[in-house]
Amino acid sequence: MKIIRSSFLNTTMSDQSITLMLQRIKAGEKHLLKDVYASLYEEIKNVAKHQIAKLNTGQTITPTVLAHDCYLKVVKQKYVNAENHQHFLNCLSISMRQLLIDIYRKKSSLKQQHITVSMDYGEITGDQDINFKILELDRLLNQVMKLNSQYSEVLNYKLILSMTFAEIAEVINKSERQVVTLWNQAKTLLVALSKGANTDVKRTD
């Protein structure tokens, strides 16, 4: 696979500049996406590296290839709805997770489908890790998204980007205590869904 390195120049932009660029992209100037991607390229590759390690599907895909494929996927989207630097990385991380899961679905054997992902509840005293099969976790996160987008956002920040509560609070403009509350509620919903709880409920947001 050919990696388009020439589009990702070694450029840097301030967070404010990135926010302004994302606003213009959101308004329809999608050609600016390559400039934002170029500025954040090393961070994006780090997110890709983290995603590959996090899912641990046994795939041989490299962070460079995943970052490149994710760029192509985002470019094809009709809308790019990211508010700021961190939000953009979060959106990319979700796209990367989906790309990896799609590859996993196509190539995995029945035996490999039992690879699990550990949900690290680390910062919540008294909580224990819970293991989910990769495809099960993807299904559950999609279910949470349908029920409560804010819960889904917090779960993605915590589970996919491994952000701290303080970092999440800054991104979603809430107090750290509010984020912890959201995390507990989101986690409870995720675990309930994993146990087959009734999901025939209305959205709560």
Mean pLDDT along residues 12-36: 88
Q: How would DSSP label each residue in 54-82? A: HH-------HHHHHHHHHHHHHHSS----
Which residues is 130 bridged to in the sheet? Answer: 119
CATH of residue 161's domain is: 1.10.10
Locate all alpha helices (DSSP H) within 41-164, ordered by sequence: 41-55, 63-76, 85-107, 134-147, 149-155
The percent of residues above 90 in pLDDT, for the chain, comes to: 27
In a domain, 10, yes or no: no
Same domain flag for 63 and 84: yes
In a domain, 202, yes or no: no
User: Dihedral of the CA atoms 80, 158, 176, 201 (nearest 10)?
Assistant: 80
Asked if pLDDT for residue 45 goes beyond 90, the answer is yes
Mean pLDDT, the chain, as a whole number?
Answer: 77
Same domain flag for 80 and 135: no
Same domain flag for 35 and 66: yes
pLDDT score, position 59: 62
| Residue 34 lies in domain | 15-107
pLDDT score, position 121: 40
In a domain, 182, yes or no: yes
Which pLDDT tens digit goes with each residue over 68-127? 999 999 888 878 888 888 888 888 988 888 888 887 777 665 444 444 444 544 333 334
The residues, ordered by sequence, that sit 6+ positions from 98 with a Cβ below 8 Å of its Cβ are 138
Say if residues 66 and 51 touch (Cβ distance below 8 Å).
Answer: yes
Task: Give the number of domains in the chain.
Answer: 2
Same domain flag for 130 and 187: yes
